Amino acid sequence: MPPSLTDLRGVAARALGLLDGEAQATAWWERRVAVGEHGVSDVAQLSVDLVVLRDGRVGSATTTAVDDAGLAAAAAAAAAHAELDREPVDARRLPDPAPVKPHDGWDPAVLALRPATVAEELAAVAGEGLAVEWRAGAGRVAIASSRGVDAAEQRTFAVVEVAAPGHPVAAAVGPATLDVARLVAEARAGFHEGAPLPADPGDYPVVLGPVAVAQVLEALKPGLAGRDAALAARRGEPVVAPAINLSDSARFPGTLPRALDAEGMPRQPVPLIQDGVAHRVVLDTASGGSTGHASRPGHAEPWPDHLVLVGGGAADEDALCAPLQLGLHIPAFLLTVEGGWRLDGARMVEGGRRTDATTGLADLDPLALLGATEALTSAQRRSCRTDCPRRSLRRPYMSSRKTMPAAVSTGRSSQPMRPTMRMRPSLSRTA
């Protein structure tokens, strides 16, 4: 029987009572289920994270031994670890409490999952020749601090991805709404006869699918976080195309919602780019003026986890392709070890229609790509790759969930939602 939120609050309070001075205790329980070609796993764990602040130094320790002796040992370890911090910052502090609103991001069906049944159902739907990665998780967390924070939430996710050109992927709060059959059909439609032909080098109008848009925005994230972020320095300036409206919003319809950050602060919606103009960035307490985006208590390491790209007026990806006499449709990228962007499942667009499969390396800058965006689909799609939940529900990534439309050419268009977009990155010749 998993611990309730009340149980976890009690564990966090006990742990906090063993810490001196400014401190935080976080009690976590999570279950993670994974089914795929490499195996089946079902792991549940209860752990406690302790953080102490001493003269600008931060110490931390984690334990799965939640009896009095285990918590006392972890408290001593956290205090000792603070002495190892060689870069004290006098301004470091934990936040004061703030009210937190509940959300509907919990599906109790995740607690009842039987991995063997999931594997049998996937095999029946996928058939021969397709590898399907299916993951789900449930997490409960309670946070208590010496400044009076006493917050808790529970959340779940389910995500499925097909190993096929374009890597079709879907995510939801629970498994019942995942349409695996639709993804399998989408994956089979992406296969083609023979090897894809290399794209000639040059500038092309490009239509990006929702997964590709999500990947572009993922690469943009460092520039959206903290007072030293690239966009913070350009606040009030046009930085991308006027069609781009991007925010971080953990309660936007269609996202996998979250209430808290790692410091127990409520997650606030943050408009990052409005009509192409840099507006705000996400912050944590150490950055000053928290927006509820802390990833490590006591450290200035905010992170945007729920990017939402507002859609445009195009009906679908075919509508984005229609005006193009010669271009590319890119459903996804494969990121190379060297940091390159290899086309995944791409096809030429000729006379407004998707035709032959093609491959190549895209030479693109995420910000410049967004600056070239001409159009977006009106529909948005939640994007969360299966490697996000591997980080576990403990991390803000519980879904680098992004909500995205598809996007069109000379422009460009997520963990969240993304539309599809059109843009014009250049391609380098493949080796």
* DSSP H or E segment with residue 121: helix 115-126
Residue 201 is predicted with a pLDDT of 81
Residue 87 is predicted with a pLDDT of 80
What confidence tier does 311 reach under pLDDT thresholds 50, 70, 90?
Answer: confident
What confidence tier does 393 reach under pLDDT thresholds 50, 70, 90?
Answer: very low
Residue 350 pLDDT > 60, yes or no? yes
Residue 398 is predicted with a pLDDT of 29
Residue 423 pLDDT > 80, yes or no? no
Residue 241 is predicted with a pLDDT of 93
Residue 396 is predicted with a pLDDT of 30
Q: Calculate the CA 258 to chain-centre distance.
A: 12
Instruction: Choose the weakest-confidence range: 9-18, 172-181, 273-282, 330-339.
Output: 330-339
What are 353-380's pLDDT values in tens digits? 999 999 988 888 888 889 989 999 988 8
Other beta carbons within 10 Å of 98: 13
The position carrying tokens 């285990």 is 70
d(CA 92, CA 76): 20
- CB contact at 8 A, 108 and 154: no
- Name the token pair of 309: 């790209």
What are 135-185's pLDDT values in tens digits? 999 999 999 999 999 999 999 999 999 888 888 888 999 999 999 999 888
CA angle 131, 136, 138 (to 5 degrees): 170
- CB contact at 8 A, 23 and 53: yes
Q: How high is the mean pLDDT of the chain?
A: 87
- CB contact at 8 A, 185 and 286: no
What confidence tier does 402 reach under pLDDT thresholds 50, 70, 90?
Answer: low
pTM attached to this predicted model: 0.89
CATH number, span 5-182: 3.30.2290.10
Phi, psi of 252 (to 5 degrees): -65, 135
What are 127-144's pLDDT values in tens digits? 877 889 999 999 999 999
Where exactly are the structural domains of the chain?
A: 5-182, 202-428
Residue 254 is predicted with a pLDDT of 83
Residue 417 pLDDT > 80, yes or no? no
What are 259-290's pLDDT values in tens digits? 999 999 999 999 999 999 999 999 999 998 89
Residue 86 is predicted with a pLDDT of 80
- Name the token pair of 140: 């409960």
